[in-house]
Structure 1
Amino acid sequence: MITCNKCGKKNNDAAKICSGCGFKLQSGRKRLESNAAEDDRRSMFHLKLEKKQRFTKHAEAWVYALFLLGAVVFFTYNKMYWPLYALTPAIALLAWFRKI
């Protein structure tokens, strides 16, 4: 039996929507099974990529930010502001495309 998260009514396991309120039912069984299978695959090769990927994304964002800060300091010191108008959106677009 699946219990509705909205109204609390018990529904059949095969039901996709609640018979009481019409709210979409979500079964936790498939998620638990898929998470267990995924954990087995990860533990088989002992790969822990989430932390490394998170660190690399943060490091890449810091590189972009420091590059932009350096450019701002350099061009402001030389009193040339026009390159910043093109450089700032270009770095923002690069970060957006890289999903940072």
Structure 2
Amino acid sequence: MITCTGCGRKNPDDARCCEGCGRKLQSGRFGAPQESGGTRPLERFSSGSMSDAARSELWRMVEAWGYVAVVLAALGACLYTGRLWPLYPAVAVVALLLWLRKI
């Protein structure tokens, strides 16, 4: 017997619509699990707008642009002082960081 979710009337198993109110009957073979507590705790909200892989890729891009900003700041300081030799080790250190971080 299938119980109508609208009016609560018992209907035969082969019925597609409720004989009492005419609503479409649920086609599930097993009924909904009965909870003894009546209510259950709410699930944590997740917007689902960005997957973990996309979030990780975005963070990698932000980190790479941070390294670019460091190199540009070093370039600006070198141009301001008129000495370009400190730029070479700065670029090497940033390149090593990028290689170690696999960016």
Please report the TM-score for the alignment, with normalisation by the length of structure 1: 0.51
TM-fit CA distance, 1:53 = 0.3
- Name the structure 2 match of 1:89: 92
Q: Within the alignment, does 1:71 sit opposite 2:74 as a pair?
A: yes
Q: 1:38-49 alignment to 2 at 5 Å?
A: 48-49=51-52
- What is the distance in 1 between the residues matched to 2:52 and 2:64? 18
- Name the structure 1 match of 2:57: 54
TM-fit CA distance, 1:48 = 2.6
Give structure 1 regions of 4+ aligned residues with deviation exceeding 6 angstroms.
none
What code does the residue aligned with 1:69 have?
Answer: L
TM-fit CA distance, 1:77 = 1.2
Task: Say what the alpha-carbon RMSD is for the aligned residues.
Answer: 1.6
- What is the distance in 1 between the residues matched to 2:73 and 2:86? 13
TM-fit CA distance, 1:81 = 1.3
Gaps of 5+ in 1: 1-45
TM-fit CA distance, 1:80 = 1.6
Please report the TM-score for the alignment, with normalisation by the length of structure 2: 0.50
What code does the residue aligned with 2:90 have?
Answer: L
Q: How many residues align?
A: 55
Larger Rg: 2
What code does the residue aligned with 2:56 have?
Answer: Q
